[in-house]
Amino acid sequence: MTVEYRHCRDLSSERGVGVGGGVVAGPEHRSGRRPSPYPGTTGRRTGPRTRRDGEGPGLRRGIQEGDTAMDRRRFLTALGAGAGIAAVGLPMSGCAAPPAPDPLAGGPFGAPTPTPGRDRWARVPSAFNRRVTAEQATTPLTLLDGELPSDMAGHVFFQSLSLRDTDAGFSGDSLVWRVDLDGEVPTITSRLLRTTDLLLHDAVADTDLRFESRGVSRLGPLGMQDQVNTALVPLNGNRLVATVDGGRSWELDPATLAPVGPVGRLDDHRPLVDLPVNRFLCPLNITSAHPPYDAETGEYYGVSLSIVPIPGLVYCEILCWDGVGAIKRVPLTTPDGAPVLLSQSAHQMCISRDHLLIADTSTVIEFGKLMYPPHSAEAAEAQTPRPDTVLFIVSRDELRRTAGGATAVRAVIPRESGHLMVDHDAAPGRIVVHSAHTSAMDFAEWVMPTDRHPVTGEPVRSDLVDAITPVSYDIGVVGRYEIDTRTGAVLDQHAFFDDHTWGSGGLTARNPLTPIDTVGDVFHANSGMPTDIAVQRMHAVFTSYPHRIVPDAELPWSGVPTSLLRIDHDAGRVVDAYWHAGDRFGWTPTFVPRRGTATGSTDGYVVSVVYSDHADARSSGTELWVFDAADLARGPIARLGRADLAMPLTLHSTWLDSLRASRPDTRVDVAAELTERADTWLADPRVASIVRNDVLPAYDAVRV
């Protein structure tokens, strides 16, 4: 179904608040109590609330009790609560166009007719929640079925979550996988990305300085571990950068998968909090898992967010890097001089030829939850995402020229977005944004031992406890929005949905050699409706979802399988699709161009990770499937695997044509950074000793 809406309004102003509340509010909400983004709900998930002794929200108590390891945990707990409370009621005035109306308004419309031939059920395999901490030495892959094309070449890289037994959600280490396609037989390799943060985690694991899982990351007295476990960004010269929302990015060597060094100094990022003594060795840096890179100009853009509401503090800064020298930090303000505030996260950033776009995405970083164990009642009380997407648009030319700050124009499009894309070229004064919306979904959640199915009331399967929950409680929507970069007004928009868009908004792939003028054809791995990991506490807050298309009573609780789609984003339609069987979970797609200069959008292959519990003598059940990009509906033309292939849940991926990286000799002096901070722990000399005697020697042994 496609509905188009054309819209243009004059510039106006509005007031709002950000930080933690997930809402935009005016003066009527200055009391400090957050309204719900959904009518008829409280905005928080219901559930038993208990508070353990010593974990109260008072900021004063956390400071007064001293600075032992436990007291620093209390301080962080107090900070998470205090920052959110203080930020509510802090006015953010800014010139902005009114939010665009929903192009699919008028629903609910009802569930679309299921595609003929697809399964009407789905079961999430146990392999979706596999725990893997061991590395995979380079080993051949077995051709399980089909024929591997002779013109496949290059190297596919996957990020995956290496979760330990005490971890939940996204709090796993970065386990990077590489599939090599240049030899006679494809091979596979994996390595843990041994950053100084990971080495520090291991060095203090048996002490009271240890890091502990908080679902979205690991937290401890030394700070928040930078796990760089989400995406991989290729740079010119076959360089590769690993990213995450909660930490600075790290470069790794594609040939050895060893760390090269961090992108920028710790002082280039503005942390959530820092102290003059006992400084965090792992600062609480809030960044973006998708920093954009322009291969034509060599420009890389990051972001540094600070949410502590202290007068004079800049809340959003752009980090501009040329891949060689120092990072340039540019604070953002709105056209009338107000600070830019993001209420959820900057998970996605995009660039066009002329503009940088920062999206306040539905991947909500819930700081209050970050301070509690992942199975606690507090962690279950999670904030619902906003039912729209706030965008900030910045001139790249202004970022280049400025010696101070830059201006960001605010725009709002309907529905949540976790990932977006933009056309590289657009008419002057325009930016074209594409989103596969994450409808009624909170991707930053995980299954808890007490969770129950929304309909049956039965406990969620024990083998899926602590798994992430990519469940949309309404059908996904794909939208295209043309925005005036001077005012933020949405000038043109259209959106569509059909049976294939269940579970949209996750992982995508595109031919990296295709001209980037417009988004065009993109390959999507949609999660369907995996009802095995649907839970009551999350479903309850989406029953009043304001953009609902499928009535809650008509949701397909028997499940919808995963699918691999090719969507023409310029035309707004699904042009090719493959449905996985109900007992398989198709995930992480990667485009591999045909050998040579294959620039067509379908001139190559899509390699996907497919999980199942169908293990046999040749396959562990987790496999790599190869699809002809021009004919997904045909199904896989080759299946690769091994009987001992233990691949945990993968996230984003990329492709490189060569492992020969060309990079400058400049490096961040991580030894100087860490020792300077460790030396501020005057009352606990263990910290400096661990850094000098354990962490730095181990890092020198593994780095490139």
What phi, psi does 573 have (nearest 5°)? -160, 155
For residue 610, pLDDT over 70 is answered with: yes
Look at residue 16 and tell me whether its pLDDT is greater than 50.
no
Tens of pLDDT along 304-350?
A: 998 655 544 448 999 999 999 899 999 999 999 888 988 889 999 99
d(CA 152, CA 165): 37
Across the range 264-289, mean pLDDT stands at: 92
| 612, pLDDT greater than 50 | yes
Mean confidence (pLDDT) of the chain: 87
- Per-residue pLDDT for 520 more than 60? yes
DSSP string, 409-435: EEEEEES--S-EEE-SS-STTEEEEEE
> Residue 169 — pLDDT band, cuts 50, 70, 90?
very high
With 70 as the cut, is the pLDDT of residue 64 above it? no
pLDDT at residue 74 above 80? no
Instruction: Average the pLDDT over 72-98 and give the result.
Output: 48
Using alpha carbons only, how large is the chain's radius of gyration in Å? 24
* pLDDT tens-digit series, residues 342-371: 888 999 999 999 999 999 999 887 777 778
Q: Mind listing the pLDDT tens digit for each residue in 633-654?
A: 999 999 999 999 999 999 999 9
Most confident of 1-15, 43-57, 383-397: 383-397
Is the pLDDT at 703 greater than 80? The verdict is yes
| Lowest mean pLDDT across 27-31, 94-98, 311-315 | 27-31
Tell whether the model's pLDDT for residue 219 goes beyond 90. Answer: yes
Greatest mean pLDDT among 45-59, 272-286, 603-617: 603-617
- Between 142-151, 365-374, 592-601, 689-698, the lowest mean confidence (pLDDT) is in 365-374
| Band of residue 50 on the pLDDT scale cut at 50, 70, 90 | very low
pLDDT of residue 532: 96
**Residue 85: its H or E element:** helix 69-87
How many whole angstroms separate alpha carbon 664 and alpha carbon 643? 41
Q: Is the pLDDT of residue 617 over 80?
A: yes
Q: Which residue has the higher pLDDT, 349 or 35?
A: 349
Mean pLDDT of 401-416: 96
Strand, coil or helix: what is 331?
Answer: strand
The residue ranking higher by pLDDT, 586 or 386, is: 586
Q: What is the mean pLDDT of residues 134-152?
A: 98
Mean pLDDT along residues 51-74: 39
- Round to whole Å and give the CA distance between 232 and 240: 7
pTM of the model: 0.89
Phi-psi category of residue 201: left, alpha or beta, with phi > 0 → left and psi -120 to 50 → alpha = alpha
**Residue 559, pLDDT above cutoff 50:** yes
**Token duo for residue 193:** 């990305």
Question: In the chain, what are the domains?
Answer: 2-702 (2.130.10.10)
Average pLDDT over every residue of 503-517: 92
**195-214 pLDDT per residue, tens:** 999 999 999 999 999 999 99
Give yes or no for residue 17 having a pLDDT over 70. Answer: no
Instruction: Report pLDDT digits (tens) over 528-558.
Output: 999 999 999 999 999 999 999 999 999 999 9
Cβ atoms within 10 Å of 137's Cβ, excluding its own = 10
pLDDT reading at 57 higher than 70: no
pLDDT-derived band at 402 (thresholds 50, 70, 90) equals very high
Average pLDDT value for residue range 23-46: 38
Q: What is the pLDDT of residue 71?
A: 56
Whether the pLDDT of residue 20 is over 80: the answer is no
Return the pLDDT at 640. Answer: 99
436-460: pLDDT as tens digits:
999 999 988 999 999 999 999 999 9
Give Cβ neighbours of residue 9 (< 8 Å, ≥ 6 apart).
97, 98, 489
Query: Would you say 642 and 617 are in contact if contact means Cβ atoms under 8 Å apart?
Result: no
User: HEC string of 79-143?
Assistant: HHHHHHHHHCCCCEEEEECCCCCCCCCCCCCCCCCCCCCCCCCCCCCHHHHCCCCCCCCCEECEE
Instruction: Say how many C-beta atoms besides its own lie within 10 A of residue 457's C-beta.
Output: 8
Distance CA 240, CA 669 (A): 19
Residue 662 has pLDDT above 70, yes or no: yes
pLDDT of residue 75: 52
Q: Strand 348-351 relative to strand 293-294: parallel, antiparallel, unpaired? A: unpaired
Average pLDDT over residues 119-140: 98
Is 317:330 a contact under the CB 8 Å cutoff?
yes
Q: Does the pLDDT value for residue 466 go beyond 70?
A: yes
Across the strands, what pairs with 356? 351, 394
Cis-peptide, bond into residue 108, ω within 30° of zero: yes
Instruction: Please name the residue ranges forming H helices in 288-356.
Output: none
Nearest to 307 by CA among 264, 338, 342, 267: 342
Percentage, residues of the chain above pLDDT 90? 76
Confidence of residue 132 (pLDDT cuts 50, 70, 90): very high
Out of 101-115, 373-387, 502-516, 578-592, the most confident range is: 578-592
Phi/psi at 538 (nearest 5 deg)?
-90, -40
pLDDT exceeds 50 at position 504: yes
